[in-house]
Amino acid sequence: MRIGIIGGSGMAGRALYREAVKRGDVPTAIVRDADKAEGVLGDYGNYLAKNARTLTASDLAAFDVIVDALRPATPDAVQHLAVAKHLVSLARTMPDAPRLVFVLDAGSLRTGEGRTQLDDLYDTPGTASWIAQSEQQARQLAFLRTVDDVDWVAVSTAAQFVAGPAGRPVLGGDDLPVGPGGASRLSSGTLAVAVLDEIHAPAHRRVRISVRDEEC
């Protein structure tokens, strides 16, 4: 499977790249800084040094799947929606477009009657410096839910998303995933397992799913 990973040098992107290699796929990290990607993924990684918003249909045609794992700096969080719109626009022009997979945070997941995690964050001190990430990814999901002519799936992480080895993923829907111990936690390795499982055996189309670690 030829997999393009936007943000391939970030925490989620690195885990996705390594899991893809492990499964015998051919991943390519789509990054703005090839030197950074080489430092993270090693000398033998596949890189496409390009801003995601300048990708062309010809670029996308080289892949079976595009995974958007972009995590821009908070002042550039508007890139989440802009990149999603750009990818969908390109896919609509292609007779055999790659599947689009979007990695989202937990902000748009429901935490109670009429509330999302983003609502809870507004009530939490100390979130102002980064809450734009969740706001923009919620807008990204809202846009994707209007798209019915492109093959896409969105995967939201648990509330606590940390670097770590793979465990067993537990999938959910639009509710914040919480484990038996009351925690909402996901490692980057487990996210990669869940995403690659979905890539190899598609079970969700044009919907958002959530994922957490089994043991949390």
CA angle 21, 38, 200 (to 5 degrees): 20
End-to-end CA distance of the chain: 31
Q: pLDDT in tens for each of the 216 residues of the chain?
A: 999 999 999 999 999 999 999 999 999 999 988 777 777 777 667 989 999 999 999 999 999 999 999 999 898 999 999 999 999 999 999 999 999 999 999 999 999 888 999 999 999 999 999 999 999 999 999 999 999 999 999 999 999 999 999 999 999 999 999 999 999 999 999 999 999 999 999 999 999 999 999 998
- Give the total residue count for the chain: 216
Q: What is the pTM of this model?
A: 0.96
In this prediction, residue 32 carries a pLDDT of 87
Q: Rounded to an integer, what distance in angstroms lies between the CA atom of residue 69 and that of residue 79?
A: 12
In this prediction, residue 44 carries a pLDDT of 63
Element (H, E) at 95: none
- Between the alpha carbon of residue 206 and those of residues 95, 145, 210, the distances in Å are 18, 7, 13
HSE toward the beta carbon, residue 150, CA cutoff 13 A = 27
In this prediction, residue 174 carries a pLDDT of 98
Q: Rounded to an integer, what distance in angstroms lies between the CA atom of residue 12 and that of residue 200?
A: 18
Domains and CATH numbers, the chain: 2-213 (3.40.50.720)
